[in-house]
């Protein structure tokens, strides 16, 4: 048994180095397709090493103590390699830089969109690549504080944002280690997040503020665990900061409030209000950018796109109806999970990640870095559909630049695999339950 564990641990060394080589290959631009081709080639190779490495930690044997150390060291190295990508994968970072520049000039970033003539004196080279200059910022209050702080330390330098977000992602790895210990799981299971190519690519090369929000969400779990899974003030502050960085964490609030009661709710609400207070001068424009975003964006979605396509044939208000229907469905899932929630830290995390997954599958848009929100769940639960989604969501999103005519085909091929695995697992669980029920002796 010990020899098998030693061999499994030794196999993680070449696999980690191989994933590192694949992450490095993400930046080697090819003449066949530029950076999307290079990124996808490296991503596919990294994922092909990641899944076997994760499986090696699940063989029912405890790996030697040096294995988790190697996993964490390699995770830090992988994120450092991702930082070497020549340019951010997304244009979001230019909006971050702009919002921070505007705030440091003493102007409320929710008051004017980037193309406003009032902000013309602030325009620099980082202003040009901003997308949707006519739309007000969508990023919540704590994210704005992060942008302003980084812009003050390193004005106009996107590398500072990339480094900060990668460090937050490393922080998530360490918080996950603490959570695994709290739940009695082997520390080596952290590999399912630490070596997952999705957060490595999206938070390092992609430069998304979601890494800050995910780290804060995980921290709120950890703080709740210290209070015997009854969240208190510290957990409420961390969750509020996560919500005020990226709104997805709001889905977790009902589960925390049900456990922490009115004290948690009061701390959570007070923290949210305190964070948003400096920006209240924008008045009703505070949410203009968010409403514009929700009223138009549907990129890479699945069931939302299908509903929108069907409704388009019967009403001109198809997008609004699809949005309201998806919102109602997600609310229903959250309500059911909150009502049926069991005690314990695992139940709290499971409810949160299930709600986040429901938003990703039912709502829109579904960006790859949004899916990174549920990647930490893999440290405890590994449904094949979620493992596959960490691959398909990236391939179908970035392949659009290589094969624009095949965008819809790639989208539905990717989601078809995910939903087939999801339905298959559901059917298997149902059959197992029926079989177990049939074997129970009937009462006289």
- DSSP letters spanning 178-236: HHHHHTT--GGGGHHHHT-HHHIIIIIIS--THHHHHHHHHHHHHHHHHTTT---HHHH
pLDDT score of 443 more than 70? no
pLDDT in tens, 294-304: 999 999 999 99
Which of 251-255, 300-304, 324-328, 434-438 has the least mean pLDDT? 434-438
* Among 201, 204, 176, residue whose Cα is nearest residue 188: 176
pLDDT in tens, 319-353: 999 999 999 999 999 999 999 988 899 999 999 99
Question: How high is the pLDDT of residue 406?
Answer: 87
DSSP tally for the chain: helices H, then strands E: 18, 0
Sequence-ordered list of residues with C-beta below 8 angstroms from that of 324, at least 6 positions apart, any chain: none
Which of 200-209, 214-223, 302-311, 431-440 has the least mean pLDDT? 431-440
Sequence-ordered list of residues with C-beta below 8 angstroms from that of 295, at least 6 positions apart, any chain: 319, 320, 323
Q: Within a 13 Å sphere around the CA of 219, how many CA atoms are in the beta-carbon half?
A: 21
Sequence-ordered list of residues with C-beta below 8 angstroms from that of 7, at least 6 positions apart, any chain: none
Question: How high is the pLDDT of residue 388?
Answer: 97
The phi and psi torsions of 244 (rounded to 5 degrees) equal -80, 0
pLDDT score of 246 more than 70? yes
Question: How high is the pLDDT of residue 31?
Answer: 46
Q: Percent of the chain at pLDDT above 70?
A: 96
Q: What is the mean pLDDT of residues 66-73?
A: 96
Question: How high is the pLDDT of residue 439?
Answer: 74
Domain ranges within the chain, ordered by starting residue: 2-439
């Amino acid at each position: 048994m010990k020899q098998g564990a030693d061999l499994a641990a030794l196999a993680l060394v070449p696999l980690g180095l191989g994933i590192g080589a694949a992450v490095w290959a993400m930046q080697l631009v090819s003449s066949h397709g530029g950076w999307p081709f290079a990124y996808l080639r490296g991503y596919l190779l990294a994922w092909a090493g990641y899944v076997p490495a994760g499986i090696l930690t699940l063989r029912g044997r405890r790996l030697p103590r040096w294995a988790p150390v190697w996993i964490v060291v390699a995770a830090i190295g992988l994120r450092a390699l991702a930082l070497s990508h020549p340019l951010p994968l997304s244009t979001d970072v230019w909006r971050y830089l702009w919002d921070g520049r505007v705030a440091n000039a003493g102007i409320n970033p929710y008051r004017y969109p980037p193309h406003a003539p009032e902000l013309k004196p602030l325009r620099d080279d980082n202003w040009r690549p901003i997308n949707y200059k006519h739309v007000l910022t969508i990023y919540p209050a704590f994210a704005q504080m992060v942008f302003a702080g980084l812009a003050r330390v390193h004005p106009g330098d996107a590398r500072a944002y990339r480094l900060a977000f990668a460090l937050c992602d490393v922080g998530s790895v360490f918080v996950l280690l603490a959570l695994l210990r709290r739940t009695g799981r082997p520390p080596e299971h952290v590999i399912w997040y630490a070596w997952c190519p999705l957060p490595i690519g999206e938070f390092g090369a992609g430069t998304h503020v979601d890494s800050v929000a995910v780290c804060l969400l995980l921290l709120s779990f950890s703080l709740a665990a210290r209070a015997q899974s009854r969240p208190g003030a510290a957990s409420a502050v961390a969750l509020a900061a996560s919500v005020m960085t990226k709104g997805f964490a709001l889905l977790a609030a009902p589960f925390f409030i049900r456990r922490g009661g009115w004290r948690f709710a009061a701390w959570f609400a007070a923290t949210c209000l305190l964070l948003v207070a400096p920006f209240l001068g924008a008045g009703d424009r505070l949410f203009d950018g968010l409403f514009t975003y929700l009223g138009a964006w549907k990129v890479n979605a699945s069931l939302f796109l299908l509903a929108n396509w069907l409704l388009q044939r019967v009403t001109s208000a198809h997008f609004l109806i699809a949005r309201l229907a998806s919102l109602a469905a997600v609310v229903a899932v959250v309500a059911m999970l909150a009502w049926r929630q069991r005690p314990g830290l695992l139940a709290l995390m499971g409810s949160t990640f299930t709600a986040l997954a429901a938003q990703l599958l039912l709502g829109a848009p579904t960006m790859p870095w949004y899916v990174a929100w549920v990647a930490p769940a893999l440290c405890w639960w590994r449904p094949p559909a979620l493992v596959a989604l960490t691959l398909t969501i990236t391939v179908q999103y970035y392949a659009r630049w290589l094969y624009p005519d095949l965008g819809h085909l790639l989208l539905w091929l990717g989601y078809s695999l995910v939903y087939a695995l999801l339905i298959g697992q559901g059917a298997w669980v149902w059959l197992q339950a029926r079989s177990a029920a049939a074997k129970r002796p009937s009462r006289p």
